[in-house]
Every structure is written in structure tokens, then in C-alpha cells.
A and B are shown apart, each in its own frame.
Chain A
Amino acid sequence: MSEAQIKSLEKQFDERIARDEKIEPKDWMPEKYRKTHIRQMSQHAHSEIVGMLPEGNWITRAPSLRRKVALLAKVQDEAGHGLYLYSATETLGISREEMYEQLHTGKAKYSSIFNYPTITWADMGAIGWLVDGAAIINQVPLCNTSYGPYARAMIRVCKEESFHQRQGFEIMMKLANGTPEQKEMAQDALNRWWWPSLMMLGPTDDVSVHTEQSMKWKLKRKSNDDLRQQFIDQTVPQAELIGLTIPDPDLKWNEEKGMYDFGEINWDEFWQVVKGHGPMNKERMKARVGAWEEGTWVRDAAMAYAEKKRNRKEKQVV
């Protein structure tokens, strides 16, 4: 195809998206659209899969059966969300194995929030309330994104996600209304998860490199700073309601703007964690790669068994 032809196709493509038409797997698409989607969607899938690890840590130690079944169901949902997203990404022509390879070698990233440790039960509350809360804010606009399989996967994910946030908030509420030690535990978890949750919504708009193109493709509907502000404005009253304090001395309602002003985010910490120097980066990858490698014989055995069954069936037919 000549350059002029490609330019003309790209123009038509952008117009389709501007008209709110969806792009489906076999449609022509610019190479950059394909690549950007593979990057963002696989990163999203990886985050769901790695996101199971910090919570999986507490399943066996949940304080009651009610909490245990809820946490188990939530972690299982995350596996499901990872699988919806991987299969949606595969429609763009990358294989599951390639994506795993990229995750395991560190070529592909996952959300940096999962590189923090979960050291008390209250962390299960903070993750559901804050991390899933921030994720929902990020994901709801994606239900309307231009790539059909991604949009459909996000609709399923968002439907299922709202229980995650509620179960987290309920844990926090219970602890905040409990003994002084329990309340302290809840406050401590909020202190540790607040700032990483704000960072989770991405770098500030002035340094975010993908924003403009992603907006055009509806891969992003709101800027990182807008999403962050929305998260803060909705979460602060929730903390007040259960008597916990947001760990930000500069946090103040701005009457004029109708939103909260908040303190400086430590972006050095964010970039350190993204670059692999967070408290749990190594541990997470070790667990993930270990699970994949130790599962090799199971996957091989399943294939061998499937083949044996197929051969037996064919023999019977003859």
C-alpha cells in the first residue's frame, strides 16, 4: 500500500471513531492503533492477574467465613477479568504466550500499586475501597472505548467490580467502628494506601505521553488529573463518614472551585516503583513466573490427555 493510500485509510478510520462507530478485530486499523491497544489492554490484563497476589495473601487468614468467601470471590473475579482482557487482546493478533512472555521478562508493565505489601487484614479493606475505587473510575469511561472487544470486556468488568469496592469499604467501616486497635489498623492501612492509590491514576497531564492520541481513539476519555480529582472528591467524604483521616495535611475543600485541593504527590516514589524498585516488585514476579513454570507439567499433561482421548475416539470410529 502506498503512503497516500494509508493516509486516506487513516483519515477514514479516524472519522469512523469520531462518529462513535466501533472498530472490530478484522477491520483495517492503523498499526499504531493496534500496537497501542495491545500495550494498554495487555497491561490491564497483567494488572488483574498480578493483582490477585497481594489479596491471595490473606484468603487463608480472613477473620470470618463471610469475609473469606467474599475475598475468594473477589480474587476469582480478578482472574476472570484478566482472562476477558487477555482474550480481547488476542483478537489483535498477539498470542497469549507472547503476552505472558512480556510480563515475565518485565517488558510489559502492570499497575504499580500491586508492588506494595499487604501486611495487615485492614489492607484488604483499603485495597477494595481505594484501589478498586480508583480502578472503577479509570474503567467506567472505557466501557465506551472505540475497540469493540475491549469495550465489551470492560462492561463485564465494571458490572462485577462494584461488589469489590463495597466489600472493601465494609471491612474498613467495621474496623473503624471496632476497638481502638482495630481503628488504628484501619487508619494505618489508609495511610499506606492513600498516596499509591492517587498515583495509580497515572502521571500528571503535563508529563503523560499518551494522552492526546489516546483521547482521539477514545482509549482514554478523561485526563489523569481529572480522574484523580474525581477520585479524591468522592473518597474524602467516605473517609469522614467512618471517622478516618486522609493522610494529607494540605487536603482542603476549595469552595470556589467546588473540589478538594490536595498536597504534592511524591512522583519520585511512583517512578521508582514503575522502574522495578518498589517494595514487592521482585516478589510479585517471582510468584507469577513460579506459578507459570510449576504449572508446565499440568498444562502438558492436559494436552497429552486430550490427544489420547482424541486418538481413542478416532480408533473407535475406524
Chain B
Amino acid sequence: MSDKKNWPLWEVFVRSKNGLEHRHCGSLHAADEDMALENARDVYTRRSEGVSIWVVESKHITASNPEHNGELFDPAHDKVYRHPTFYDLPDEVKHM
């Protein structure tokens, strides 16, 4: 067995066409960023699914904890005034 380190994990984001955002599509292992891009090309865009790829080493991603979803997201729930339907308009105003 080898005593060298294993290839790290990378997250892959693909833009399917210009005008659309990059979207997370999975992950893979690679020794460095160049190999991560090449592997991402082969693993995630074999049928022309993309025009641009981002890769980022997984350890650099900070994620929110779903157990804290309450504190994190609840404050938005009672702010209905952030939505256009909160405001009363006379029927005569057709487009606003």
C-alpha cells in the first residue's frame, strides 16, 4: 500500500449555457485543480451538458447547519411586507 495522501475531494459546478448560472452537479477526486477540471469534463459533461465548469476543493465550502434552520431562516417568515402582494392597490391600476 502507498503511504502517500489520497486525492482530495472537489465539488463541481457546471453552467449549461450562457445566461444560466453555474449549478452544483456532484463531486469527484483529483490531485489538483487542473486534473479536477479535466475529470469534471469527463464525468459531468459527456453529452455537452456544459459551456463552463467551476471546481472548488470541498474543504473550502462552509455550509449552514440544518439543525439551526430555525434561527437562520425563521426571521424571514413574518416579513410579508417584502412581497408585492402585501400592498393594496385599487383595481383600476392594472400593471404595477
Contacts and interface: CB of A to CB of B under 8 A. Distances in A.
Interface SS, B side: loop
A87 B28 contact: yes
Nearest to A96: B29
Contacts, number: 60
B43 A26 contact: no
Contact of B7 (A73, A76, A84, A302): A302
A89 to B, nearest CB: 11
Contact of A302 (B35, B63, B67): B35
Interface in B7-43: 7, 9, 26-29, 31-32, 35, 42-43
B60 interface: no
B7 A26 contact: no
- Counting chain B residues whose Cβ lies within 8 A of the other chain, the interface size class is 20 to 34
A304 interface: yes
Contacts of A73: 46
A11 interface: no
A15 to B, nearest CB: 16
- Counting chain A residues whose Cβ lies within 8 A of the other chain, the interface size class is 20 to 34
Contacts of A88: 26
B46 A77 contact: yes
B47 interface: yes
A139 B18 CA distance: 32
Nearest to A83: B43
Contacts of B46: 73, 76-77, 80, 160
Interface of A: 24, 26-28, 73, 76-77, 80, 83-84, 87-88, 90, 95-97, 152-153, 160, 296-297, 299-300, 302-306, 309-310
